[in-house]
Structure 1
Amino acid sequence: MEHFKSQRTMSKSAVKISSDLLSNPLCEQDAAFLEMVTAFDTAMRRMDSFNQEKVGAGEAFSSVFPSLNVAVKRREQTLQDYRRLQAKVEKYEEKERTGPVLAKLHQAREELRPVRDDFEAKNKQLLEEMPKFYSSRIDYFKPSFESLVRAQVGYYTELHKIFGELAARVAEPRPGDEQRERQHDARLAELRALSIVADD
């Protein structure tokens, strides 16, 4: 599950980077750069959308048996209460049998009885249900695991497609180095021709 969440965080960060790039003044000045950044932003948003779907599927997969987890936790809490009250009863049983001690022992036993009954009921239920759950694990987990693997394959296939399209768009022919150098030289010549530029 942590793997899904870290991928989700990564895709959110990628969307933030692409959004920041889009708001950069360079995008206003250079149409080719704007086109590349727009393509990158679109790809990152598509990736983030697929990550959201995958995280949702992963959360559903990881929370299949919440009631079983809750039942185990409740049994553990009841067991702790039972042990605490049992220790209290044993403490009074070891003391000298005076009137006040016997009264406290009686009260401790009365407190223990419903907690013990509650623990035994919860324990009995888990002892009956856990073997059934354990024996049916393959029937459930095999198709669930298969579905998770298929979702991963679909996800990475789609990411491959998204980044393949992005790579193709970014790799479109751009002005060559020589052409860029001529453009820069022409701009420098225009700047040198301005009256505010001093001659060397």
Structure 2
Amino acid sequence: MRKWLVNLRKEKNMTQAQVAAAAFIDRGYYAQIETMKRHPSPEVALKISKVLGFNPANFYSEHFSEPFNITLEDSPVTVAQCDLDLRYTWIFNPPPDFAPFSAIGKRDDELGYHPGSMEFMELKRQVIQTKAPLRKTIPYSLSDGLHTYDIFGKPLFDSKGNIVGAAMICTDLTQILKDNDRDRGEANEKVEN
């Protein structure tokens, strides 16, 4: 079952029949896509993604085994895309607080309202407004405490050159910063002795 697809459809208050009609496909075929009995063709994936507002790559990320995905899985790196309304359309390797695909269709303030989420949304806004890359370090509250992220955002354009959103790569620096602080403390102790 593609729970993320079912949840996204329900959040949009749509039935399977409504999604199928809007995507110009058979309702039965759409139902089989939700239950993973069938996989959509790239053309159908694109139609469904336009109706529900997500990146069609989500259909295929379930089956990735490329070196890119193997390398990033369980790493402190999250890669994501958002639309012009700052809603996630694709996310890979989200922080532990976010279940896979739970962020699709949502903004950061809907996932957790705190200063870090607001600052992250502002970074995305600036990337979209200026149509230029931007990098910033942002503290972000998660269930296990405050994390520090190095975030690089760049604009996303369609084939006609129109801006359609932003892409971000977020690296959790928290453990590195803790290790550096510990190492500095040990170095200072040695100097004092």
TM-score by length of 2: 0.23
| Rg comparison, structure with higher value | 1
Q: Which has the higher strand share?
A: 2
Query: Taking structure 1 as the reference length, what is the TM-score of the superposition?
Result: 0.22
Q: Relative CO higher for 1 or 2, CA cutoff 8 Å, sep ≥ 6?
A: 1
Structure with greater proportional helix content: 1
